[in-house]
């Protein structure tokens, strides 16, 4: 039903389908929108809850620059981004 409404009204799928939007700038920044919470954080790994699983980001020297209820901006050297389904 949501997919049909999205197609008929020409709305962005990430908004209607409750998908995260992930934007990376090289290996130094990653911006995650529409997440469900921060599960764990260290300077080498961050785990973020999504509506249909988890996002695991590995790297070095991580710093959370911005954290809001549905947005996270992470800075550091990103080496790996993995989606872990439910």
Say how far apart CA 62 and CA 10 lie, in whole Å: 37
The predicted pLDDT at position 18 comes to 77
Q: Which domains does the chain show, CATH number per domain?
A: 19-85 (2.60.40.2000)
Q: At residue 74, does pLDDT exceed 60?
A: yes
The predicted pLDDT at position 41 comes to 98
Distance separating the N- and C-terminal Cα atoms of the chain: 22
The predicted pLDDT at position 7 comes to 59
Say how far apart CA 57 and CA 80 lie, in whole Å: 6
Say how far apart CA 16 and CA 32 lie, in whole Å: 16
Per-residue model confidence as pLDDT tens digits over 11-59 = 555 555 678 999 999 999 999 999 999 999 999 999 999 999 999 999 9
């Amino acid at each position: 039903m949501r997919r049909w409404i999205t197609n008929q009204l020409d709305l962005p799928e990430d908004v209607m389908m409750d998908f995260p939007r992930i934007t990376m700038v090289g290996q130094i920044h990653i911006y995650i929108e529409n997440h469900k919470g921060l599960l764990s954080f260290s300077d080498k790994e961050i785990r973020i809850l999504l509506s249909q699983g988890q996002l695991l980001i590995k790297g070095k020297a991580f710093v959370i620059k911005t954290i809001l209820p549905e947005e996270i901006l992470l800075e550091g050297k990103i080496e790996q981004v993995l989606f872990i389904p439910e």
